[in-house]
Amino acid sequence: MKELKDYVRSIPDFPEKGIIFRDVTSVLQDSEGLHRSIDEMQAHLAGVDFDVVVGPESRGFIFGVPVAYNLNKPFVPVRKKGKLPCETIEEEYDLEYGTAVVEIHKDAILPGQKVVIIDDLIATGGTTKAIIRLIERLGGEVVKIVFLMELAGLCGRKQLEGYDVASVICYEGK
């Protein structure tokens, strides 16, 4: 049987020379790869007491919704600024060349709710740290963060110290 990482297409020198791009679309396009990725991410939640799954646009939706569905939990989307229709709170975070803003509905997380964050990839950890700040501003408690892939060479876990972080596939480089 193939390893889950065998479903991930690795593209050398993209977006720049020396970088190996880990393409999640190859996982999504294979029914076994998609099924196994969701199952293995969900397995990291065994024994975790939580109320709601949060996932960022867009690949956090792809992996977070089936996990929420399978475990009979609600799903809360985190989106780029200007995409949510009701009252929101926002958080700015740094990108390699500039900043970005994510938002969540102001009523999406209730005080005291235990939250799991699901996403496809942790690189520098900036997006996830912004999502944590949003959840905590609403009174939620992040009890677990699960990624399909981790680029350990970018040290994203450093941004998430103090949180329970798991990744299904870990690549040592960038």
The rounded Cα 123 to chain-centroid distance in angstroms is 10
The length of the chain in residues reads: 174
CA 146/CA 168 separation, integer angstroms: 8
Indicate which residues carry an active-site annotation.
59, 96
Per the CB < 8 A criterion, the answer to whether 28 and 62 are in contact is: yes
Q: Which helix (H) or strand (E) holds 25?
A: helix 25-28
CA 17/CA 132 separation, integer angstroms: 32
Sequence-ordered list of residues with C-beta below 8 angstroms from that of 24, at least 6 positions apart, any chain = 8, 59, 120, 121, 148, 149
